[in-house]
A = this chain, B = another copy of it.
């Protein structure tokens, strides 16, 4: 067993302000966090708590944001990725590579301050999949 809990569902949004307003109406104002710029990822991210998991609203940041082309195809917004927790990111990457799954780029520090990596959708049933080392994984 490699993957643990669903940490978040990544949703691309064209306007963070409009998205925050919608999620405040649906989940309550207290569930919607403050947007944080993640320049290394080319996105602004804002987490919404669903109690058991989170939604990560992401909007393009900067000229070279990888989200721009995605939103051209889905201008209203769309589901973008799923993120699952793993206990040990380097070990998980070794196991996934041994199964022939491709990793996109190098592991980086993600929005929660732990290492994350992305797996190629073609090896994951069409789903862009993020794995993140669980916070407080204890090593």
- List of B residues within 8 angstroms of A11 by Cβ: 125, 127
**Given B4, B50, B74, which contacts A51 in the complex, CB threshold below 8 Å?**
B4
Identify which of residues 54-110 in chain A touch chain B, using a CB-to-CB cut-off of 8 Å.
55, 74, 76-79, 82, 84, 99
Least CB distance from A7 to B in Å reads: 9
Complex Cα distance, B25 from A124, in Å, reads 11
Complex Cα distance, B50 from A4, in Å, reads 6
**Given B5, B13, B18, B127, which contacts A52 in the complex, CB threshold below 8 Å?**
B5
- List of B residues within 8 angstroms of A9 by Cβ: 6, 9, 82
Least CB distance from A36 to B in Å reads: 19
A27 touching B3, Cβ below 8 Å:
yes
Identify which of residues 103-126 in chain A touch chain B, using a CB-to-CB cut-off of 8 Å.
121-122, 124-126
Least CB distance from A57 to B in Å reads: 9
B76 touching A25, Cβ below 8 Å:
no
Complex Cα distance, B124 from A18, in Å, reads 11
A28 part of interface (Cβ distance < 8 Å): yes
7 A-B pairs with C-beta separation under 8 A: A1-B27, A5-B50, A6-B50, A22-B125, A52-B52, A76-B121, A77-B126
